[in-house]
């Protein structure tokens, strides 16, 4: 985290230690942690699981570093050359360029050439995954599913069952609303859409004028004051402003909860405000709700899904009509926010599709023949066909899709509970803030599934997330 802070913000003058971590963790370390986890009692298991997750992540990163660095370098230097474009497009800028391009024929040409480039990088992706599979096998796991289940403490099929239910319960509304917006904006049907069409659909921000850059910091400050957050009371939370940082904000947890940095960068548009709110949520959780007396492994390695739940809860305020009315002074925001609500529904469904695909991908170390599983899972979730060539590119080796979706389920359950107890303007109710604070104080020692059950009455949480996804659509 210190190195990331130095890269993105500047030197951390309080920290001057240097350490050689090249030989950590070793396979022996991991096997010792693995053995300890398997015999741990209930009071120790969760903390050991978080520590083991961190160590495994570091080890797999170490084992695939060379292959991963090669992929990153090639992708960073690659350019997409399309004859009908005036100049080549850097590979890393393609999605942003597609989102802004209004002419479908140009989008089609750019994505087609990009897909060919990704196809050409397949040998690098295959080498990366072969190395990762070999590292997992050397640790005694028959496949990545077995490793996933040990890290999460949940049976994979049991985890995916409610996600499939979410797809079913949101299917009709998703298709109806997506058909309407695609026809209105691009003049095409969902079944005829391509990946670039969806990027272009959501690239049209009809609410940009509501979220100007100069108003972002005053807006966030006013909301937090109204809610009763007294930032000056938390000396462990340092708020910094940066004009160089992209994206609206970043929470740097240098020490939990002793040294949390919240770097805010004025940004315009709903996405900029939403990202800043996400990082505010993480910072407030880690600085004011994370107990300093928690066991070290629970304090140092928070569950990524818990952080994502809090981030999504706060980031989602920018899509809330009442929040926009109060803090952006827009009288009738509902219609303008519906596209943003649809985008969220699409993203959740797409990530569920990725989770379902990754179940098939992780079953064995065979890379051939997985293209169809990717195509079918993403088509079921999104309603249109993704290029099969993305089947090794569009996947997170750190189980990111699983961590995110798990967090979104928890965040949706919390939001539904807050709305039920404190009405639509829960984000201004001091009692809601205090209740949320107390809820998070117990979270380090609880699993995400237990937390969902506490607020929803069931560890599955399907009803809550479906209601949350379909609200204001």
pLDDT number for residue 19: 54
pLDDT number for residue 179: 97
Listed in sequence order, the residues at least 6 apart from 240 whose beta carbon sits closer than 8 Å to its beta carbon are 9, 261, 262, 263, 264
d(CA 1, CA 9): 11
Neighbours of 375 (CB within 10 A): 17
pLDDT number for residue 204: 84
From its phi and psi, is residue 234 left (phi > 0), alpha (psi between -120 and 50) or beta? beta
Mean pLDDT by 10 residues, the chain (473 residues): 84 62 83 94 92 95 95 96 92 94 95 96 97 96 96 93 96 97 96 96 90 94 92 86 84 93 92 95 94 90 95 96 96 92 97 96 94 96 95 93 95 93 94 94 91 82 88 86
- Please, what are the domains in the chain? 210-332+401-470 (1.10.1370.30)
> Could you give the strand order of the β-sheet that contains 259-264, starting from the edge strand earlier in sequence?
237-241, 259-264, 249-255
Cα pseudo-dihedral 310, 312, 317, 321, rounded to 10: -140
Joined together, the tokens standing for residue 309 give 């739940």
d(CA 65, CA 154): 28
Q: Which of 83, 24, 85, 33 is nearest to 59 (CA)?
A: 24
H-type helices in 192-303, by residue range?
A: 195-203, 216-227, 269-284, 296-300
d(CA 102, CA 112): 16
Task: Supply the Cα-derived Rg of the chain in whole angstroms.
Answer: 22
d(CA 448, CA 450): 5
Q: Which of 355, 22, 314, 438 is nearest to 159 (CA)?
A: 355
Name the DSSP class of 248: S
pLDDT number for residue 22: 61
pLDDT number for residue 43: 85
Report the DSSP pairing between strands 259-264 and 237-241: parallel
Strand extents, DSSP E, 204-248? 237-241
């Amino acid at each position: 985290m210190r190195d990331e802070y130095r890269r993105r913000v500047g030197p951390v003058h309080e920290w001057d230690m240097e350490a050689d971590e090249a030989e950590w963790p070793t396979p022996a370390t991991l096997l010792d942690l693995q053995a300890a986890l398997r015999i741990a009692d209930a009071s120790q298991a969760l903390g050991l699981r978080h520590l083991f997750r961190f160590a495994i992540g570091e080890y797999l990163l170490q084992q695939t570093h060379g292959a991963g660095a090669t992929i990153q370098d090639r992708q960073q230097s690659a350019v997409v050359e399309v004859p009908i474009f005036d100049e080549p497009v850097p590979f890393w800028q393609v999605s942003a360029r597609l989102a802004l391009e209004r002419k479908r024929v140009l989008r089609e040409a750019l994505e087609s050439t990009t897909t060919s480039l990704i196809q050409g990088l397949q040998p690098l992706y295959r080498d990366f995954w072969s190395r990762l599979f070999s590292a997992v096998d050397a640790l005694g796991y028959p496949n990545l599913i077995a490793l996933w289940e040990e890290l999460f403490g949940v049976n994979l099929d049991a985890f995916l069952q409610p996600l499939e239910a979410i797809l079913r319960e949101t299917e009709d509304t998703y298709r109806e609303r997506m058909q309407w917006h695609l026809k209105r904006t691009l003049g095409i049907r969902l079944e005829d859409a391509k990946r670039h069409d969806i990027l272009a659909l959501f690239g049209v921000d009809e609410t940009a004028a509501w979220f100007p850059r100069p108003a972002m910091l005053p807006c966030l400050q006013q909301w937090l004051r109204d809610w009763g957050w007294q930032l000056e009371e938390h000396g462990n939370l340092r708020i910094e402003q940066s004009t160089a940082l992209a994206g609206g904000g970043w929470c740097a947890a240098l020490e939990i909860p002793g040294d949390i940095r919240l770097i805010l960068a004025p940004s315009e548009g709903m996405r900029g405000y939403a990202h800043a709110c996400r990082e505010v949520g993480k910072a407030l959780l880690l600085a004011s709700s994370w107990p300093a007396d928690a066991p070290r492994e629970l304090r140092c390695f928070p569950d990524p899904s818990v952080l994502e739940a809090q981030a999504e809860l706060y980031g989602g305020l920018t899509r809330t009509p009442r929040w926009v009315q109060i803090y952006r002074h827009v009288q009738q925001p509902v219609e303008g926010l519906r596209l943003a609500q649809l985008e969220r529904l699409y993203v959740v469904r797409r990530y569920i599709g990725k989770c379902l695909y990754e179940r098939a991908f992780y079953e064995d170390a065979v890379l051939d023949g997985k293209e169809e599983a990717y195509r079918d899972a993403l088509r079921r979730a999104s309603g249109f066909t993704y290029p099969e060539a993305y089947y090794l590119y569009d996947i997170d080796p750190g189980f990111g899709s699983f961590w995110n979706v798990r967090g979104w389920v928890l965040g949706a359950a919390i939001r539904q509970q807050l709305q039920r107890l404190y009405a639509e303007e829960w984000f201004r109710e001091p009692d809601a803030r205090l209740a949320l604070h107390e809820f998070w104080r117990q979270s380090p020692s609880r699993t995400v599934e237990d937390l969902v059950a506490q607020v929803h009455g069931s560890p599955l949480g399907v009803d809550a997330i479906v209601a949350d996804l379909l609200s204001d659509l």
